[in-house]
Structure 1
Amino acid sequence: MSGRPAKNRGSAAPTVQDVAAAAGVSPMTVSRVLSGGPNVRPEKVQAVLDAAAALGYRRNENARSLRPGQRTGLIGVIITNVANPYYAQVQLGVEEIVTADGMLLLVGNSGEDIERERALVNDFIGRKVDGLIVVPAGGDVTHLRTAVAAGIPLALASRQVDGVTADVVLVDDENGARDGTAFLIAQGHRRIAFLGNRASVFTSRRRRLGFERAHHEAGIAIDPDLMRAGQNDDAAAHDVMVELLAGDDPPTAVFSANNRNTIGALRALAEHPEAAAAMRIVAFDDFELSALVPFDLSVIEHDPRELGRTAARMMMQRLAAPESEPQLVELPTRFRE
């Protein structure tokens, strides 16, 4: 990429030709990259995205519309697990705000698969959505950077990714996990198992940090054999919990970093009632019928529907004021003993 400097704030808005010159490619290549077109070499995609970011280029919204000045009234929503009731609540929260403004949703499920997420983003862009609300799977986020450079408003829900300028709403994952783990330590537990999603998932990393911070503050070493991450569904969590219970020195308590891991752990405990009788569980994320669980369970609660509402409000504000500064909102958690 050439060393051409970004335009000053007071100069005219950068054009496709400016981005092409800075990236060392043709204007046609810039257009193909920013529209999500195929068959562009990765190094050229990166050069175009870097040039667009450096110049502050944003594709004209009217140029994407069916007619100049007209929007489609569609918001694309991409969640990671349609089978998880948590994300159903997030979607309902988004829908509540968006439909009140006379708009409709297009909803896709990425299944924590970055390639599926990329395909959904490109498909929604092709359908001329007015904005995207995404729970990102993580990994290569070139497609999200492309969407932003193409002038499509983007809000990220529950997870943040590096290198993408967008409005973001998160949950206070680390402090919630720290407080839940500190509760177990205060109860006298020293062998606390950690059950979580894979390390590449943003929320799993933050909740693990909170778990580790509580141990560090208490001066307690963590047994690495009790750290189990990578369970993306309740079946995998069940198998891991059975394995932990069968060990020579099983845990006396469990910190579960999401509701699918919690449900899997509870299924395993139901099969081993003698272990369940002495086990203390702290679960991040509430789940259906949690108040009826016949085990010693505490829950770190937050409101997934409000997470969706907040992401949707950010989107509505972004559509009304495209040049405003990106927002970062962190929603609180509540410990239910």
Structure 2
Amino acid sequence: MAKQNDRPTLATVASRAGVSIKTASRVLNGEKHVATSTAEKVEEAASDLGFRLNSTARRLRAGGRSPYIGVVMSDGEDPFQTRLFTQLEAELGRVGLRPVVTVTGDDPDRERGFCDECLANDMTGICVIRSHPDAARCYAEAASGDTQIISFDPSTAGPGVELITGDEEAAGRLAALQLLDHGHISLGVIGDHSTSPITTARLSGIQSAFAGRSDVGWRAYMREDAHDPASAKNVVAAWLGSRSGPSALITLSAPLTQGAIDACRRLGEWPALVGIDDFPTADLLDVTVIDRDVAFMAAEAVRRLQRRSGSAAGHNRASRSSDLPVHVIARGSGEESPET
């Protein structure tokens, strides 16, 4: 009798049922031409022992692919990333796929190591929610083989990598226009990683909204060194404590929006604010945001994974890119007029 803490094996099941390992394997893999009485003994033994076949190994032996999908996040506390992962996990589950997740902490070496592990374990694909730009090459190399790469981060663009992103330039433009339309001409812009494609595109959109407006001031208030909620909080606190601070704020990510709100709450001052990317408590705090449909993004990623041809080599797959629409969720903070 197997010890309680021993993991039952196929050999254990065969011994309990009084059959050969080959016969036990045939029964548990659903093969035909096994006597009913023998099959019943094997199934009863497997049930008694709590034995379960390794479905992944069985699938690989049959020439199939692993049901596991690697998922890369840079920050487990970033509201956008966690919202998208929640939707992605649900969509993968609906088609029998399972995520294996890493949170890289914005460490390119750790990210490359995870990519290598995904390839070594023959995972069907990798979904990149946020990546470090220095890790982009590993995805192009993976896509050149037989691994599907779906990315929500434009910094990973490369041959064979399929991009599903929001229209980041439109996001910046809509944020600026929302404040301009309510009379603001002195705007503080808080961002991070100025060389990332996402930040660059959002800033380009903001600048396009100000085209031809010589009365608008924003570059004097542009900060590209706010790396987290704490640093964004410090930037906004300094502006609020100045007589010449901006009358409105644009924050280029949800963590930075949260830091800005914390500063406003602590100082009891509430300039107009538009943040890019929604977050769970934004509706309770009446925060206006620019957002995209993360549920659609996740569903589209899984549709592309399912459309993947198992025989198609990565270098024969054309890269595809989708810039999905973004929209304003007006809740009040972006609709405040300047103080007179």
TM-score norm. by structure 2 comes to 0.73
**8 Å contact kept, 2:109–2:135:** no
Q: Which residue of structure 1 aligns with residue 258 of structure 2?
A: 263
DSSP-derived class of the 2:75 partner:
coil
How big is the shift at 1:115? 1.7
Q: Which residue of structure 2 aligns with residue 318 of structure 1?
A: 308
Deviation sequence 1:187-214 (CA, Å, 0-9, x none): 2211101111211332222111111111
Closer/same/farther in 2, CA of residues 98 and 320 from structure 1, 3 Å limit: farther
CA distance in 1 between counterparts of 2:226 and 2:309 reads 37
CA distance in 2 between counterparts of 1:66 and 1:209 reads 47
Question: Which of 161, 164, 187 in structure 2 is aligned with 1:166?
Answer: 161
Letter in 2 for 1:107: V
Closer/same/farther in 2, CA of residues 234 and 167 from structure 1, 3 Å limit: same
- Greater C-alpha radius of gyration: 2
**8 Å contact kept, 1:139–1:200:** no
How big is the shift at 1:220? 4.3
DSSP-derived class of the 1:108 partner:
strand
Deviation sequence 1:12-65 (CA, Å, 0-9, x none): xxxxxxxxxxxxxxxxxxxxxxxxxxxxxxxxxxxxxxxxxxxxxxxxxxxxx9
Higher deviation after alignment, 257-266 or 134-143: 134-143
CA distance in 2 between counterparts of 1:270 and 1:319 reads 52
Question: Which of 215, 236, 242 in structure 1 is aligned with 2:237?
Answer: 242
Count of matched residue positions in the alignment of Structure 1 and Structure 2: 268
DSSP-derived class of the 1:292 partner:
coil
- Say yes or no: does 1:195 pair with 2:195: no
Closer/same/farther in 2, CA of residues 320 and 100 from structure 1, 3 Å limit: farther
How big is the shift at 1:302? 1.8
DSSP-derived class of the 1:244 partner:
helix
Letter in 2 for 1:302: R
CA distance in 2 between counterparts of 1:254 and 1:127 reads 46
Closer/same/farther in 2, CA of residues 237 and 321 from structure 1, 3 Å limit: farther
Task: Name structure 1 gaps, 5 residues minimum.
Answer: 1-64
How big is the shift at 1:122? 1.1
CA distance in 2 between counterparts of 1:199 and 1:179 reads 19
Question: Which of 78, 81, 85 in structure 2 is aligned with 1:87?
Answer: 81
Q: Which residue of structure 1 aligns with residue 282 of structure 2?
A: 290
Closer/same/farther in 2, CA of residues 270 and 127 from structure 1, 3 Å limit: same
Deviation sequence 1:282-326 (CA, Å, 0-9, x none): 1111111212216xx421122223222222222222246735533
Q: Which residue of structure 2 aligns with residue 105 of structure 1?
A: 99
CA distance in 1 between counterparts of 2:85 and 2:91 reads 10
CA distance in 2 between counterparts of 1:90 and 1:127 reads 24
CA distance in 2 between counterparts of 1:321 and 1:209 reads 41
Q: Which residue of structure 2 aligns with residue 127 of structure 1?
A: 121
**8 Å contact kept, 1:90–1:306:** no
How big is the shift at 1:93? 2.1
**8 Å contact kept, 1:192–1:226:** yes
CA distance in 2 between counterparts of 1:298 and 1:102 reads 37
Q: Which residue of structure 2 aligns with residue 328 of structure 1?
A: 321
CA distance in 1 between counterparts of 2:308 and 2:213 reads 43
Deviation sequence 1:93-130 (CA, Å, 0-9, x none): 22222222212111111222222211111122122211
**8 Å contact kept, 1:160–1:168:** no
How big is the shift at 1:183? 1.9
Letter in 1 for 2:96: G
CA distance in 2 between counterparts of 1:260 and 1:159 reads 19
Deviation sequence 1:250-296 (CA, Å, 0-9, x none): 010001111101000000011221x32xx1101111111212216xx
Closer/same/farther in 2, CA of residues 319 and 247 from structure 1, 3 Å limit: farther
Superposed CA RMSD: 2.1
Task: Name structure 2 gaps, 5 residues minimum.
Answer: 1-58, 331-340
For residues 1-16 of structure 1, the aligned pairs below 5 Å read none
Q: Which residue of structure 2 aligns with residue 74 of structure 1?
A: 68
Closer/same/farther in 2, CA of residues 200 and 231 from structure 1, 3 Å limit: same
CA distance in 1 between counterparts of 2:103 and 2:309 reads 24
Letter in 1 for 2:308: R
CA distance in 2 between counterparts of 1:240 and 1:71 reads 49
Q: Which residue of structure 2 aligns with residue 148 of structure 1?
A: 143
How big is the shift at 1:184? 0.9
Letter in 2 for 1:208: L
- Say yes or no: does 1:210 pair with 2:210: no
Letter in 1 for 2:64: Q
Identity, % of aligned positions: 21
Higher deviation after alignment, 66-75 or 144-153: 66-75
Closer/same/farther in 2, CA of residues 182 and 85 from structure 1, 3 Å limit: closer
CA distance in 2 between counterparts of 1:70 and 1:316 reads 13
For residues 41-56 of structure 1, the aligned pairs below 5 Å read none
Higher deviation after alignment, 158-167 or 326-335: 158-167
CA distance in 2 between counterparts of 1:204 and 1:233 reads 14
For residues 210-229 of structure 1, the aligned pairs below 5 Å read 210-229=205-224
DSSP-derived class of the 1:69 partner:
coil
CA distance in 1 between counterparts of 2:212 and 2:326 reads 20
Closer/same/farther in 2, CA of residues 316 and 138 from structure 1, 3 Å limit: same
